[in-house]
Amino acid sequence: MEDTHVHARFCQIIREHSRSCGARGFQLQHAYPLNRPSFLDAMKRSDNIFAHVGYHDLLFAPINWSGYHWFLLIIDCRHNDLTTILFVDPLGKAAPPALKSAISTRYPTALFKELVDRIQYDSTHCGAWCAVIAKEYILLCYSHGTPSKFRIVNPSIAANTNDTPKQLSNLAFIRRERLQFQSLTH
């Protein structure tokens, strides 16, 4: 999925949920989709969204680290006593060491958590899955859920590699989502 599609989908999510989130006492933000060099540079600078995330903010940052695969950072500052940063890779992989290092330098007191639940079983829908994950996280926030309770096991998006009907259902779901994303930019 191209940067413009990922950006358009995150803009749509923010528009759809901003009012409801504001009524619940927090604000939604998203960073323009980043690649590895721009993310590492942003972590060092003080003139960008990462430097100004504050109490009551929830920031989504889709990152295309390798040039061909998207993952998502969720910076949750809804609680004044603890900032939680969630790393979510739809393929269920761990965060790259350089990313962890940059985050620990920028946010030394934040709790960093990696979610390694695999939900993507193809090679082309990682950007779409990042948007779905963001929506699921917002829904958790609506119910005053905490980051520690976030799991990507919602039956509507979970897939089981040993179960072909579930895989096909999973793929059909994400194809519908991807068509929605693409229609936003055309």
- pLDDT tens figures, 13-22: 888 888 888 8
Burial 61-79 (b: 16+ CB within 10 A, else e): bbbbbeeebbbbbbbbbbe
Report the pLDDT value the prediction gives residue 154, as an integer from 0 to 100. Answer: 41
How far apart are the C-alpha atoms of 43 and 110, rounded to whole Å? 14
| Contacts of 31 by beta carbon, 8 Å cutoff, 6+ apart | 42, 48, 49, 50, 59, 60, 61, 62
pTM of this prediction? Answer: 0.81
User: Bridge partners of 57?
Assistant: 27
Residues of the chain with confidence (pLDDT) below 50: 154-160, 178-186
How far apart are the C-alpha atoms of 22 and 170, rounded to whole Å? 32
Report the pLDDT value the prediction gives residue 148, as an integer from 0 to 100. Answer: 64
User: Cα angle at 10 between 124 and 141, to 5 degrees?
Assistant: 110
Report the pLDDT value the prediction gives residue 2, as an integer from 0 to 100. Answer: 75
Report the pLDDT value the prediction gives residue 152, as an integer from 0 to 100. Answer: 59
Domains of the chain and any CATH numbers = 3-185 (3.40.395.10)
Average of per-residue pLDDT values in the chain? 79
Yes or no: say if 5 and 184 are a contact pair by the CB < 8 Å rule: yes
Report the pLDDT value the prediction gives residue 37, as an integer from 0 to 100. Answer: 92
